[in-house]
Amino acid sequence: MERPTALDLYRVMRRIRDFEERATVLFGEGKLWGTIHSYAGEEGIAAGVCAHLRDDDWITSTHRGHGHCIAKGADLGRMYAELLGRETGYCRGRGGSMHIADTSKGNLGANGIVGGGIPIATGAALTAKQLGTDQVAVSFFGDGAANQGAFHESANLASIWKLPVIYVCENNQYAESLPVKNAFAIDDISSRAGGYGMPGVRVNGRDVRAVYDAAGELIARARRGEGPAFLVADTYRHEGHYYGDPRKYQSKDEIEGWKTRFDPLVDTRAWITEAKLATAAELDAIDAEVIEEAKRAVAWAEAGPPASPISLPGDVYASY
C-alpha cells in the first residue's frame, strides 16, 4: 500500500475514535439528546470500505453509524451539532445520533431500525442499474441484522437483478446483548452468500488492510456490472450496546481486557511504522491535527442556535 493511502486510512480511523470519545464525554455532561452507540473498535471497517467510494456512491448506516458518516466525508461540526440538538446539524438537530444523513456525500442515512438500511441500499443500487451508471451502494449492518428478513429478501433480489450493492456485515460479536454464537448455527456468516449466488468474503475487521483489499475487489466488481457481494468483517465493539449499558452479559476480563488486546488503531500504528510508511512522530502529528479539528468542530456546534419547535408539515414532507 502506498504511504498516502495508509495515512488517509489512519487519519479517518483516528477521527472516528476521537469523535466517539468526545461524544461520550458530551453525553456524560448531559449535553446530548437521546442516546449514543459507540463505534470504537470497529474503525477499520468504515475506513477500509469507504476509501473506495466516490461522493456519488451511496451508503446506508446503522444506529452505530458515526464511523460510517465520518468515513464517507461528513463534516464533523454538523455531526456534533446534530448530536447537540442544534439547527446547524445535519437534520437541524431533530434526528440526533441515530439519524444523521448527508445526501451530498451519498450518505442515505443512519437508521435506528435493525436492518432498515439494507433495502434502501438495494433500491439505490437498482437506481444505478436502471440509469446505467457505475455507481455502487454499500449497506453497513450488524450481525443481528443478518438474521432479519429484509436482508434475505434484498440479497435475493440483488442477485437476481445483478445490482451493484455490497452488503457489509460488521460482526462485533453481539446483537445488543445476544452473543453471535447463540444466534447463528454456522461459524462463518459469509457462507450464507452461496445461497444467493453471490461472492461471500470474511475478513478480520480489525485489520484495515484486509478490509481495504477485500472491499476494493468487491466494489470494483460491482462497478463492472458483475453484481452484489457479501462482506463479513469480524470485529469487537469496545463499549456496550449503548452509553450506560451495564454489560451484565460480559465478563470483567472481556470488558476491561479485550479493548486493549483488540485495538485496530494500535494495530494500524504498528503496521504503518513497521512497514516504514511513516514514523511514530508523524502519526502523533496526525493525532494532534485530529484533536484540534475536533475542538474547532465542537466549538462551532455549541455556538449554533438550539433546534426550534417543529413546524409541521415542513419538516415531515418534501415538495417536488
What is the chain's Cα-based Rg?
19
Q: Give the pLDDT confidence of 138-147 residue by residue, as tens digits.
A: 999 999 999 9
Residue closest to 172 by CA, chosen among 14, 23, 44: 44
Alpha helices in 29-99 (DSSP H): 43-50, 66-71, 76-83
Beta strands, E only, the chain = 58-60, 137-142, 165-171, 174-175, 178-179, 200-204, 229-234
pLDDT at 312: 63
Higher pLDDT, 231 or 96: 231
pLDDT at 107 over 80: yes
Query: Strand 137-142 to strand 165-171: parallel, antiparallel, or no bridges (unpaired)?
Result: parallel
Task: Encode burial over 93-130: b for 16+ CB neighbours within 10 A, e otherwise.
Answer: bbbbbbbbbbeebbbbbbbeebbbbbbbbbbbbbebbe
Residue closest to 31 by CA, chosen among 312, 304, 283: 304
pLDDT at 94: 87
pLDDT at 317: 75
DSSP SS3 for 182: helix
Nearest-10 crossing angle of helices 264-274, 280-302: 140
Give me the amino acid identity at 134. Answer: D
Residues 6+ apart with CB under 8 A from 156: 196
All cell numbers assigned to 125? 443500487
pLDDT at 33 over 90: no
Alpha-carbon distance of 145 to 167, in angstroms, equals 11
pLDDT at 34 over 90: no
- Placement of cell 462485533 in the chain: 172
Q: Mark residue 122 as left, alpha or beta (left: phi above 0; alpha: psi -120 to 50; beta: remaining).
A: alpha
Predicted TM-score of the model (pTM):
0.95
Q: Is residue 313 very low, low, confident or very high in pLDDT (cuts 50, 70, 90)?
A: low
> Over pLDDT 90: what percentage of the chain?
80
**Is the dihedral angle over the CA atoms 305, 20, 113, 46 positive or is it negative?**
positive
pLDDT at 153: 96
pLDDT at 163: 98
